[in-house]
Amino acid sequence: MSAKPQWMRHLFQARLSRRIVLWVFLSIVLIEAVILLPSIYRRQQELLAYLKNLASARVEGGLVGAVPASDEAVLARLEQLVLPADVRGGTLYRLTGELVGTFGEPPELTFASVQQNPQATIHRWQPARYDAAWSIAPLADQYVLIIRHDATSVHRELLAFLGRIAGLVTIISIFVTGATWIGLEPALITPILLLRSDLLKAGHAVQQDQSPPEFDSLSLQRHDELGDVIAAFDQMYEQVSAAISERRQAERALRQSEEKFAKAFHSSPSALLISTLETGRLIEVNDSFLHLYGSTLEEVIGRSALELNLWDSPQSRDELIQKLQQDGAVRNLEYTFRTKTGELRAILFSAELIQIDGEACLVSVANDITERKQAEKALERLAEIGELAAMIVHEVRNPLTTVLMGLESFRQLQLSARDQQRLNLALEEADRLQRLLNEILQYARCQTLQTSPLDVNALMQDLLDSVRTQPWAANRTIEFLPASAPVYILGDRDKLKQVLINLTDNACEASPEGGQVRCSIVPCEHRVCLHIYNGGAPIPADVLPRLTQPFFTTKSTGNGLGLAIVKRIVEAHQGELIIESSAAIGGTRVSVILPTLCQT
C-alpha cells in the first residue's frame, strides 16, 4: 500500500476529484461518440453499397450475352442468378410500374419509393436485411429490379468496426482521464485533502480552546483561486479565533462578574433582596435578610412581601413603588419592617429598578438601624445628662467658692491645734473638690481650639524647662531628643501644653527616684510622633484599654479624668493617642501622633 503512488491513495479519499474525473471520462466518451458517429454511418453505407455492388456485379456478369425474351424468362433467370449471391429475394417491375413478379423474400422497398428517389433503400437489423434497387445494364432499359440482400455479413463487419472504434475511444478516454487525474492530484486533490485536514484541525483547536495549529495547506504556494481559498481559510480562522477568544473573555468576565456579584450579594452584612416590581415576589435573598426576617430560604423564595407580612404598612410599599417608577431608584428611606415573629425593626431602605428576563425587578438593600436609633436615643439621653451634670457642676462651684472663702477667713482666728487641723483638712478637701469640678466641666465641654502654627521642638523645649522645676520632677532625669529639623503643626498651644504636662507628670510619677524620662520627636510622612517614655513597672495588659476611660484611675489620689481629657484634646487636633507598656519595651511609652502643617 505504501509503494503505491500518492495519487492512487488519494483516489479513495477525494470524492469530488473522482466525480470530476468521471465527468471528464464520460465527456470524452460522449465527444468521441458524437465525432465518430458519422464515420460509423459512412462505414455502414460503404459496407451496404459494397454488398449491393458485389451482388449486382455477379448477376450482371451472368446476363452478359443475351437477355431472355419474355418477362417470365427474365424473372426465372434472375432468380437463378441472384439467390446464391447473398440475396434473399427480389421484385421485378417494368419501367411503367407494372409488377412482373417476385422471387424469394419480397423486399419492403416499393417501385413508388424508387421512382421518387432512385437512391432509396431500406435497412433492417432484425432480421439483417437490406432492400435496394439495382441498375443492371442489360435490364436498365426495360425493368426496375428491387433486391432484398442478406445483411448479416455487413452487420458482423459493422459490429467489428464499432468494437474497434469503442476500444479506441476507451483507450483515449482512459489515457486522458488518467492524465487529468495525475494533473488534478497536485493541482486540486492534495490541496483539497490538506485543506480538509486543516479544517478538522481548526475545528478541534476551536473546540478544545487550544493554540492555533500549524496548517499544512499554507505550505502550498499557489497563485490561483484555490490558493485564494486557502488564504481566505487562514484569515477566516484567525477572525473566528479572535471572535471566539473575545467571546470567551467576555464570558469569563461575565462569569467572574456574576461570581463576584453572587459573593458580594450573599456575604454582604446588609440585607439584600431581589423581587419583582409588580407583585413583590422574592426571587433571591441573602443570609443577612434571612437573619433579619428570621426565616429560611425555602420559606421566603417565591412569596411576596405582602404574603410574608414584611411591611409594617402596605401603603409604604405603594409609596416606594411610585417613587421608583418616577426616579428609577431610591436611597436611604426609613421604613419599618416586621420580622417573622412580629417584631418591628427600623430599616434604612435603598432600591433600584433592573430588568430580569424582560420583567421589571427591584434590587433592594435593607440596613437594620434599630440598634443605631436606640443608641442615638441613648446618646441624646446622655447628652441631656451631661448638660445636667455641667449645670450641676456650675451651680456647685459658686457656693463652693463661698465656702472656701469662709474657710480661708478662719485662718485669721486663733484656733486650737485640733480645730486648726480640722480647718486644714476641710480646705484640702474643698480644694480637691473644686479641682474635680473644674476637670468634670472641662471634660463635659466641647473642645474648642484656638489654633496657630507651632514648632513642636520649641514647644516641647519650653515645656520641659518649666517641668524640670516642678516638685514631682525632682530626683528624675528628663531627656529630650528633638527632631533634626523644625516640625510645624497647627494646634492650640495652651491645650497641647496641658496634654504634655499631664503626660510628663504621669511619666515622672511612674518612674522611680533616680529614674529617667525620655521625650523624643520623630517626624514621619505627613505626621509627627511625640514619644514620652518612662522606665517604671509595666502597666497590666487588662488595665491598658481602660486608662482613657473617664473616672478610671490607678492612682490613690487621682480622679481618672486626666488621660480622658488628654485623649479628647488629641482627637480634637485630628491626632491619635497610643499607650504601650510591656516588659519588652522596658516600661511605658505614650505616643501623641499629630498631622504636620509643613516640614522643612
SS3 for 448?
coil
Residue 108: closest CA among 74, 54, 148: 148
Q: What is the pLDDT of residue 14?
A: 60
Q: What is the pLDDT of residue 390?
A: 60
Q: Is the torsion defined by CA of 542, 544, 550, 554 positive or negative?
A: positive
- Quote the CA–CA distance of 569 and 443 in Å, as a whole number: 10
> Does the structure show a pLDDT above 70 at 4?
no
Q: Which helix (H) or strand (E) segment is 387 a member of?
A: helix 370-410
Whole-number Cα distances in Å, 91 to 80, 95, 102, 161, 197: 14, 13, 4, 32, 76
- Quote the CA–CA distance of 318 and 315 in Å, as a whole number: 5
Q: What count of Cα atoms within 13 Å lies in the side-chain half-sphere of residue 318?
A: 3
> Does the structure show a pLDDT above 50 at 467?
yes
Per-residue confidence at 388, pLDDT binned at 50, 70, 90? low
Place of cell 499557489: 222
Q: What pTM was estimated for this model as a whole?
A: 0.39
DSSP structure class, residue 14: -
Cis, bond preceding 127 (omega within 30 deg of 0): yes
What stretches of 63-151 show up as alpha helix (H) in DSSP?
Answer: 71-82, 111-116
SS3 for 588?
strand
> Does the structure show a pLDDT above 70 at 533?
yes
Mean pLDDT of 102-106: 86
User: Of 227-231, 345-349, 519-523, which gets the smallest average pLDDT?
Assistant: 227-231
Whole-number Cα distances in Å, 119 to 49, 91, 115, 229: 11, 16, 9, 62
Mean pLDDT of 438-467: 75
Interacting residues of 576 by C-beta distance below 8 A, sequence separation 6+ = 570, 591, 592, 593
> Does the structure show a pLDDT above 80 at 523?
yes
Per-residue confidence at 477, pLDDT binned at 50, 70, 90? confident
On average, the pLDDT of the chain sits at: 78
> How is 548-560 classified by DSSP, letter by letter?
TSTT--SSSS--S
Beta bridge partners of 102: 91
Q: What is the pLDDT of residue 2?
A: 44
> Does the structure show a pLDDT above 70 at 382?
no
Place of cell 485543506: 195
Mean pLDDT of 497-517: 82
On whether the CB atoms of residues 83 and 61 are closer than 8 A, the answer is no
User: pLDDT by residue (tens digit) across 19-43?
Assistant: 777 777 787 778 777 777 788 788 8
- Quote the CA–CA distance of 440 and 437 in Å, as a whole number: 5
User: pLDDT by residue (tens digit) across 48-80?
Assistant: 888 888 777 777 777 765 566 677 887 887 777
Mean pLDDT of 188-199: 72
Instruction: State the Cα angle at 495 between 489 and 501, rounded to 5°.
Output: 100
Q: What is the pLDDT of residue 600?
A: 45
Per-residue confidence at 129, pLDDT binned at 50, 70, 90? confident
On whether the CB atoms of residues 596 and 509 are closer than 8 A, the answer is no
Q: What is the pLDDT of residue 103?
A: 85
Cell of 210: 487550544
> Strand 452-455 to strand 527-534: parallel, antiparallel, or no bridges (unpaired)?
unpaired
Q: How far is CA 161 from the centre of its chain?
A: 76
